[in-house]
Amino acid sequence: MRVTHLRQIALLAAAASFATQLAYAADDTPEHGTISVLFENDVFYNTDRDYTNGVQFAYTSGPDDNFDTAVRVARLLPFFSQDGVVRTDYALGQNIYTPADLKAADPPITQRPYAGFLYGALGLIDETDTHIDQIQLQLGVVGPDSLAEQTQDLVHRIIHDTIPQGWSYQLHNEPALVLTDERAWRAFESGSLFGLAFDIDPHVGGAVGNVYDYVNAGAMGRIGFNLPDDYGPPRIEPSQPGSNFFEPTGDIGGYLFAGVDGRAIARNIFLDGNTWDPSRHVDKIPFVADLQLGAALTFNSFRLTFTHVFRSREYTTQAHSDQFGAINLSYRY
């Protein structure tokens, strides 16, 4: 989706103004939960191809607002701590993938096929003073029932952009399952650098299912003031892990962050095609890397973040590497 730079600036300004105004009304109350809205799109860099859009709405419970069953399951998982703080995570999201040539009714077979992914997710989070474990199960559908075609068509008509013509060649309907597991550590934490606090958090993880099979590893560093207790902003998988929840350490805080994530990929349905039925596909590259840079601001009970993601080429006939932006607004109550 392409819009003018003026619209991009107006979108960011409106989001920041909204968060600031609501922050003044927020009370300093115990944590009951966090509501998070995440929007990823290549609109910020005037491209409309490959991974072109992702939206996710999430709710993360407070430590004392879990179902008893969730805590019992967390204690049974062998890699979870037996005395960590447990939270449950619920999410609903949609991803959209397209080739570069949106005008072709029969897209070139050398370009990524059209595809959509609609899913619901349930996760468990276990946090200690030194690390965080996050496991999540995503269930949904890939194909026409994901409503990706209708979503993209509606948005493009609203902004008077090119109407994609090749959705009839999208991946077929297929039930989708993804199980992800991530661990991140507070490996290096310092009190001050030129008056600013900083930390470095390495991570490892992986995913299994008929949508993705991969293992990943990387690290993220943060530097700022009144650093909130989080592991960076959330992202849509596959990605560097973050956290939907956060704990502010002052009325106003902020930090800059940079991170890298590398993945060894055995399966990616959006490149390999449907699992059981013949479909469009391309030859994927088995190793993909992300570099992300961004900034986060906290206003009492609100966190607003922007992330710029650079992603290496994902398939052999891909002409260019990707870049896209991610905006996240989280409200802690």
pLDDT at 26 over 50: no
CB atoms inside a 10 Å sphere around CB 154: 11
Q: Give the phi and the psi of residue 298 in degrees, each rounded to 5.
A: -120, 135
Per DSSP, the residues of 264-325 read EEEEEHHHH--SSS------B-SEEEEEEEEEEEEETTEEEEEEEEEE---BTT--S-EEEE
Cα gap 312→322, rounded to integer Å: 6
Q: How many H helices and E strands in the chain?
A: 4, 13
Does residue 333 belong to any structural domain of this protein? no
Provide the CATH number for the domain around residue 308: 2.40.128.140
Mean pLDDT check: name the lowest of 62-66, 221-225, 322-326: 62-66
Does residue 304 belong to any structural domain of this protein? yes
Does residue 54 belong to any structural domain of this protein? yes
CA distances from 124 to 60, 62, 84, 333 (A): 9, 12, 12, 19
Q: Judging by beta carbons within 10 Å of its beta carbon (0-12, 13-18, 19+), is residue 59 exposed, middle or buried?
A: middle
DSSP secondary structure code for residue 22 in this structure:
H
Longest CA span, the chain: 58
**Single pTM value for the model:** 0.89
Question: What integer pLDDT is reported at residue 141 of this predicted model?
Answer: 98
> What are the pLDDT digits (tens) for 259-298?
999 999 999 999 999 999 999 999 999 999 999 999 999 9
CA distances from 48 to 93, 162, 191, 309 (A): 19, 10, 42, 15
Does residue 204 belong to any structural domain of this protein? yes
Mean pLDDT of the region 171-181? 98
> What are the pLDDT digits (tens) for 90-137?
999 999 999 999 999 999 999 999 999 999 999 999 999 999 999 999
Does residue 223 belong to any structural domain of this protein? yes
- The pLDDT confidence band at residue 17, using thresholds 50, 70 and 90, is very low
Question: What integer pLDDT is reported at residue 31 of this predicted model?
Answer: 81
Does residue 219 belong to any structural domain of this protein? yes
Range of the domain at 23: 5-328
Q: Domain total for the chain? A: 1
What residue ranges in 171-241 does DSSP mark as E strands? 174-185, 188-193, 196-209, 212-225
Beta bridge partners of 303: 298, 330
pLDDT at 27 over 90: no
Does residue 179 belong to any structural domain of this protein? yes
